[in-house]
Amino acid sequence: MSADKKLFIKTYGCQMNVYDSERMAEALGGKGYVQTDTPDDADMILLNTCHIREKAAEKVYSELGRFKGLKAANPDLKIGVAGCVAQAEGEEIIRRQPMVDLVVGPQSYHRLPAMDDTVRRGAKALDTDFPEDDKFDMLKKRKRASRAPTAFLTVQEGCDKFCAFCVVPYTRGAEVSRPSARVISEAHELVESGVKEITLLGQNVNAYHGHEGGLAGLIWELDKIDGLERIRFTTSHPNDMDDALIDAHGSCDKLMPYLHLPVQSGSDRILKAMNRKHTAESYIKLIERIRAARPDLLLSGDFIVGFPGETDEDFEDTMSLIREVNYGQAYSFKYSTRPGTPAAEKPQLPDDVAADRLQRLQALLKSQQIANQDAMVGGRVKVLFEKEGREAGQLIGKSEYLHAVYAEAPKEALGQVVEAKVVESSPNSLAGVCL
Ligand code: SAH
Ligand code: SF4
Ligand code: F3S
């Protein structure tokens, strides 16, 4: 192995990219790379990119522009683009930005070591295949001396849903589930190196079919792992919330009472145009069933405003759905036209209409989030402490509902679940006193 080379990875987009970045670093570790947290002295810079909205994709090119000086100063510096922009744009990236040496799509990360050999020889390396082999099997093992108390674990990738606005089925390919035995052995390794909470990841994680019992079957297997205290999963599609998964929310103690269940719109007309294959009413009924199983569950969602053809009335339907459901937290976006998706062919709404709607929608969601957090004051939460806070003696962790919680606690409490009384609510966090 050669002397250590420095690898700088910058990650955009969803949690799956966070997970992938870690696996890429591990794969390149075998080629003598160690990670660094600044691009300034790196031998390789990798941007792990997101294509979901136009802004996210364009960011990549402005970021690349900033590395020009570094490349001029160090001709041995190699620059790579990974992730969903790499998959969507392929060699176009090198055409637009010739200083890029390497372009690798999300399904080809196990080929990175060979691609490193290619770029070190001075050639360009491009791989945006969807190979048959399981990249996770071929990537290096995740063994490590110690880890943070929380970890992501990808169990499913890709999407077959083809919502009319979304690039994911094109950038991540068809739905593929990892066999449960592999997921479970990876979970054991994580727990052995100190992980207490695992978040199962998938673009449509509740469509997981690597276990005969589906995602719920996998969760119950993970439930048996001693030392694993918390299980979460994200992101789910309403149409794949089966009875077993709803039941698990009521009966599996390790499964946390938090669910991210995007609905996108509250208008049936728009849901149909989006190809979501569910109605506002079926979504609300589903939420009722989930809350019957787990009444304190904190619900999160995603919304898009300004989808082609969305009228004021459609938008008001979305506002009504939000009022009816009452979200503990949510993400909302202005519709972004993505080339190659069916919705991009439709007449687009003026930007100011979408911007105005987004503002109103976000104000409503924010007021629900604040009201929900305020209602926690005086109650108790269980906090898994993850890191030290800014003030001395303070630790930061997550409640079972995924609130950020600050509390005074000894350093030894890091990695522990501690019960705390909530004494204050701020817009994005809670303050607690350990009991
Ligand atoms: N698989 C998940 C999330 C995919 S992307 C799901 O089905 O819910 C995350 C979120 O980005 C989506 O839920 C959607 O709200 C948003 N999004 C996707 N494409 C978009 C686009 N073209 N414009 C604006 N927001 C978009
Ligand atoms: Fe995109 Fe829809 Fe698939 Fe989610 S379900 S990843 S929004 S196509
Ligand atoms: Fe973005 Fe790809 Fe994730 S488009 S949201 S990084 S799946």
Query: How many independent structural domains does the chain possess?
Result: 3
Residues 19 and 123 in one domain: yes
Residues 116 and 167 in one domain: no
Collapsing DSSP to helix, strand or coil, 177 comes out as strand
Residue 401 lies in a domain: yes
pLDDT digits (tens, 9 = 90+) for 251-268: 999 999 999 999 999 999
User: Which atom of ligand 1 has the smallest separation from the CA of 336?
Assistant: 23
Residue 296 lies in a domain: no
Domain containing residue 64: 5-127
Q: SS3 breakdown of the chain: % helix, strand, coil, rounded to 5? A: 40, 25, 35
Q: With 70 as the cut, is the pLDDT of residue 139 above it?
A: no
The band of 250, judged by pLDDT with boundaries at 50, 70 and 90, is very high
How far is ligand 1, taken at its centre, from the CA of residue 272, in Å? Answer: 16
Residues 122 and 161 in one domain: no
Write down the pTM of the prediction: 0.95
Residues 122 and 163 in one domain: no
Residues 20 and 68 in one domain: yes
Rounded to 5 degrees, φ, ψ at 394 are -105, 140
Q: With 90 as the cut, is the pLDDT of residue 207 above it?
A: yes
CB 346 within 8 A of CB 308: yes
How far is ligand 3, taken at its centre, from the CA of residue 175, in Å? Answer: 14
Residues 162 and 209 in one domain: yes
User: Which is higher by pLDDT, 143 or 193?
Assistant: 193
Average of per-residue pLDDT across 305-316: 98
CB 35 within 8 A of CB 28: no
Cis peptide bond N-terminal to 235, omega within 30: yes
Q: With 60 as the cut, is the pLDDT of residue 53 above it?
A: yes
Residues 206 and 120 in one domain: no
Q: Which residues contact 143 (CB under 8 A, 6 or more apart)?
A: 189, 193
Residue 9 lies in a domain: yes
Kindly provide the b/e burial profile for residues 370-383, where b requires at least 16 CB atoms within 10 angstroms of the residue's own CB.
eebbeebeeeebbb
Residue 374 lies in a domain: no
Residue 270 lies in a domain: no
Residues 119 and 171 in one domain: no
Q: How far apart are CA 170 and CA 264, in angstroms?
A: 19
The band of 294, judged by pLDDT with boundaries at 50, 70 and 90, is very high
Residues 179 and 110 in one domain: no
User: Which atom of ligand 3 has the smallest separation from the CA of 16?
Assistant: 3
Confidence at residue 144, expressed as pLDDT on a 0 to 100 scale: 66
Domain end residue (candidates: 127, 160, 180): 127
Residues 232 and 189 in one domain: yes
How far is ligand 3, taken at its centre, from the CA of residue 405, in Å? Answer: 28
Residue 372 lies in a domain: no
Most informative mutation of 235, 300, 302 for ligand 1 (most atoms within 8 A of CB): 302
pLDDT digits (tens, 9 = 90+) for 348-363: 999 999 999 999 999 9
- Residue found under tokens 């906090």: 383
Domain end residue (candidates: 239, 256, 273): 256
Domain end residue (candidates: 72, 96, 127): 127
Residue 277 lies in a domain: no
Q: With 60 as the cut, is the pLDDT of residue 1 above it?
A: no
Residues 241 and 168 in one domain: yes
Residues enclosing ligand 1, CB less than 6 A? 52-53, 165-166, 168, 203-204, 235, 237, 262, 264, 302, 304, 333, 335-336, 338
How far is ligand 2, taken at its centre, from the CA of residue 204, in Å? Answer: 7
The band of 134, judged by pLDDT with boundaries at 50, 70 and 90, is low
Residues 229 and 174 in one domain: yes
Average of per-residue pLDDT across 34-62: 94
* CATH code, domain with 388: 2.40.50.140
Q: Whose CA is nearest to atom 21 of ligand 1?
A: 336
* CATH code, domain with 71: 3.40.50.12160
Residue 223 lies in a domain: yes
